[in-house]
Amino acid sequence: MLGLSPSTVSRRRGRILALILAGGEGGRLGPLTEERAKPALPFGGTYRLIDFPLSNCVHSGLNDVWVLQQYEPHELTSQLAGGRPWDLDRTRGGFRIVHPYLGDSESGWYGGNADALQRNRELICEFDPELLLVLSADHVYKADYGQLIEEHLASDEVVTMATTEVPVEEASRYGVLEVGEDQIVSGFEYKPDHPKTGTVTTEVFLYDTGVLLDTLAELDAASGEEGLQDFGDELIPRFVSEGRARAWELDRYWRDVGTPESYWQAHMDLVATKPPFILDDPGWPILTAGLQRPPARIEGSARIDSSWVAPGAIVGGHVERSVLGPGVTIADGAVVRDSVLFHDARVELRATLERVIVAEAVQIGEDAVVGDACGDVTLIGGKAVVRKGQSVAAGSEIARKTGAT
C-alpha cells in the first residue's frame, strides 16, 4: 500500500525539482483533445489527467513542481489554479507554469520533451536542483517518488526510469527496455515495430541534473538545424549505451490513456466489481480543483448499476458500468452502458449508448442509438460526428467505427 514517506524525503540530499511535461496534443484521442491539452482531459468524472502526477508529487513530499505547457494551455491553466488544490501555492518555491517564449537562442516551440528541457536549461540552472524528476501527464497511476529517489541516490547511475510490464504486442507504443543484473538497463528501443520484451518506461525519469543538462547541450550542438526531439531518440539511448541507466519497477496499477480504447478501459477499471485502482484512497487521494455543483439528483425512474455519478448530474434512465461527469443528464427511458460522458452532456428520451465516449455539452437526441456492445469505442464530439456542444439528431444511428456515421 502507498503511504507518505517523510523519512525518505528527509534523507534526500540536495534540491529536487519535479517537471511535468504537459504540452502534448494527444492527437490519437481525436475530438477529445482538439481544443484542449491532453493533461486537461477529464477522468473519472471530476478529475483531470494532470491531477495524477501533481498528487503523486505532493504525497511523495516534493514541493517544487513546474508544469511545462505549450498546446492549448487555457483549460489546463484554469485547472491548475496556481497550484492551490495541491497546497503548492507558496511564497518561495512551490508551483510554477513554464511556457515557450521568444527571445534568446534557447527560445521557441518545443520540438519534443528533450528539446523542452534544453530550451529551459537556464531556468533549471537558476533553480540549481541536484536531481530532476521528469514526468508525463498522460497516465493514470499512483507512485511514491520518494522510493524512486532513495534507490537512485543509492546507485551510481545518471538516470533511473520507472518501468512496468505490458503485453509484448502492445509494447511498440512505448520505450522498451531490456534489464540486466542490479536493474541496469542493457538495451533500449523507442517505439520499436517488433518489441523484444514487454518491459516499458512509464515516462517517469529521475536524472542527475548536471549530467543531464551537459548531455542535452552536447546532443543539441550535434543535431544542427534539426534540434532535439524526444528522450527516446538520443538521450536515453546514450545513457543506456554508457551503462548509466537503471530501472525501477512500478509494481502497481499503471495505464497509458493516450488512445480511445485505453482511455475507455481505464474507466471500465474504475467501475469494475473489484477495481484495481482507487481514486479516493485516504492514504493517497487524488487531489483536484473543486467543483461548484449541487449534489447529483437520482429520479424515481432511474436505475444505476456499478457506475460513477458526478455532482450536478440528473439521472432518470438506466445507467450501467458508466462514468457520468458533472451536470450530465440522462432522461427517462434512456439507456447508457459501458460509457463515459463528459461535463453537461445530455441523453434524451429513449436514446441508447453502448461503449461510447461523449464530449462536453453534446446532446444525444430522442431515440438515437449510438455505439455497439461488440464494436469499437465510439467518440462523439469534435469533428468526428458533431462539434462540442451540438447534437446527435433524434433517431440517428451511429455505431462501431470511431466517429463513423
Q: How many CA atoms lie within 13 A of 329 on its CB side?
A: 14
Residues paired with 254 in a beta bridge: 141
Please tell me whether residues 254 and 151 are part of one structural domain: yes
Task: Name the pairing type of β-strands 391-392 and 323-324.
Answer: unpaired
**DSSP strand E in 22-152: where?**
42-43, 47-48, 65-68, 95-98, 131-136, 139-141
CB 201 within 8 A of CB 182: no
| Each residue's pLDDT expressed in tens, for the chain with a length of 405 residues | 454 444 344 444 469 999 999 877 767 788 888 888 899 999 999 999 999 999 999 999 999 999 998 888 888 888 888 889 898 988 777 899 988 766 655 666 777 788 888 889 999 999 999 999 999 999 999 999 999 999 999 998 999 999 999 999 999 999 999 999 889 999 999 999 999 999 999 999 999 999 999 999 999 888 876 777 788 889 999 999 999 999 999 999 999 998 999 999 999 999 999 999 999 899 999 999 987 899 999 999 999 999 999 999 999 999 999 999 999 999 999 999 999 999 999 999 999 999 999 999 999 999 999 998 888 899 887 544 444 444 677 767 786 444 433
Residues paired with 255 in a beta bridge: 140
CB 376 within 8 A of CB 400: yes
Dihedral-angle region of residue 321 (phi above 0 means left; psi in -120 to 50 means alpha; beta otherwise)? left
Domain assignment present for 133: yes
Domain assignment present for 303: yes
- Dihedral sign for Cα atoms in the order 208, 213, 215, 216: positive
The three-point CA angle 341-346-352 to 5° equals 75
Of 253, 270, 287, the domain-final residue: 270
CATH code of the domain covering residue 259: 3.90.550.10
Domain assignment present for 320: yes
Please give the residue range of the domain that contains residue 324: 297-398
CATH code of the domain covering residue 319: 2.160.10.10
Please tell me whether residues 253 and 379 are part of one structural domain: no
| DSSP SS3 for 339 | coil
